[in-house]
Structure 1
Amino acid sequence: MIKSPNQSPLPEAGEGKRGDNGYLGYLLRQAANAYRYRVESVLADLPLTQPQFSALVMLEAYPEHSSADLARLAFLTPQTMSVIVSNLSKSGLITRSPHAVHGRKQHIELTALGHEVLRAAKDRIYALEKDLLSGVSNEEEAIVRRWLVGLL
């Protein structure tokens, strides 16, 4: 328990309403935050933040889509994605060029360095996810994945 002055102790993660008896929405948010912190930790020595990693993953998977499309796929606002794309460009991980057909739309693609950094990041994230799933059977993992997708 975490002690606050003059108040009852706060529960640690996994205790009280932060544990098995917690509200489902809160537990989902708690898990998402814990995952994000772990991702940031494993990416710490790479020139990449967790949102930038998400943007690069979506860009690699869906290369012909706009920055606004990538924002939707990465659960970010178009304004946030604009900043991310600008920073990725400044760091040499992507290039932007005018789209051949659409006037304001830009064609965004990973550079060789972008592919290299993304590969290193993916290796770390895959190892992290493998660790998260240790002790979970393939069948249980499939159930969790179907349940998470079913929430959409």
Structure 2
Amino acid sequence: MLAMIRPPPPGEGKRGEQGHLAYLLRQAQAATRLTLERALTELGVTTPQFVVLTMLRAYPGLSGADLARVALLTPQTVGVIIRNLERDGAIRKTPHPIHGRVLQWTLTRRGTVLLDKCRRHVQAVERRLAAGLSASAQATVRRWLARVAAEFQQAQGS
């Protein structure tokens, strides 16, 4: 009879420090996303909606296409998110002053309040992410992640 072979839990074997960087990054991202989804559930907000709200606070007036790029989502997904957030009164559209067919999106007061509530939930997750890291180590991780994203995107010609 064959014995069932089970992979080790996250943090051990190839799912731990001996693992490939790309796999470990994906594993960490998946665990973080699930934790964020659970944290935002009681507010009725999905992680992609939270990202869109966050990007609109940081960069008001983005078009749907620009939102898709900075939120790392497909244009189709952003289209659905925009419709839902607009329906709920969290965002509003205005025509671009020069390119009238381009719609620009901004947070409404309601959207700002919702994002602030989301941020309180997300900050607890971010504290867990940073637990055990000094300010210097956090800066190193942030710098490394930003550099990887920039270099890989530049290499793709995007």
Instruction: Give the TM-score of the pair, scaled to structure 2.
Output: 0.87
1:16 aligns with 2:13: yes
CA RMSD of aligned residues (A): 1.5
Alpha-carbon deviation of 1:34? 0.6
For the residue of structure 1 that corresponds to 2:106, the secondary structure is strand
Q: Match for residue 33 of structure 1?
A: 30
Amino acid at match of 1:26: Y
Q: Match for residue 129 of structure 1?
A: 126
For the residue of structure 1 that corresponds to 2:41, the secondary structure is coil
Alpha-carbon deviation of 1:97? 3.3
1:100 aligns with 2:97: yes
- Aligned residues between the structures: 148
Aligned 8 A contact 2:62 2:106 in 1: no
For the residue of structure 2 that corresponds to 1:43, the secondary structure is helix
Give the 5 Å matches for 1:32-111: 32-111=29-108
Q: Structure 1: where are the runs of 5+ without partners? A: none
Distance, in Å, in 2 between the alignment partners of 1:47 and 1:104 is 31
Amino acid at match of 1:88: L
For the residue of structure 1 that corresponds to 2:17, the secondary structure is coil
Alpha-carbon deviation of 1:131? 2.3
Identity %: 46
For the residue of structure 2 that corresponds to 1:96, the secondary structure is strand
Q: Match for residue 137 of structure 2?
A: 140
Instruction: Give the TM-score of the pair, scaled to structure 1.
Output: 0.90
Distance, in Å, in 2 between the alignment partners of 1:18 and 1:28 is 10
Structure whose residues are more often helix by fraction:
2
For the residue of structure 1 that corresponds to 2:131, the secondary structure is coil
Alpha-carbon deviation of 1:88? 0.8
Alpha-carbon deviation of 1:101? 2.7
Q: Match for residue 113 of structure 1?
A: 110
**Distance 1:83-1:94 versus aligned 2 partners, 3 A rule:** same
Amino acid at match of 1:72: R
Amino acid at match of 2:118: A
Distance, in Å, in 2 between the alignment partners of 1:107 and 1:77 is 17
Amino acid at match of 2:50: F
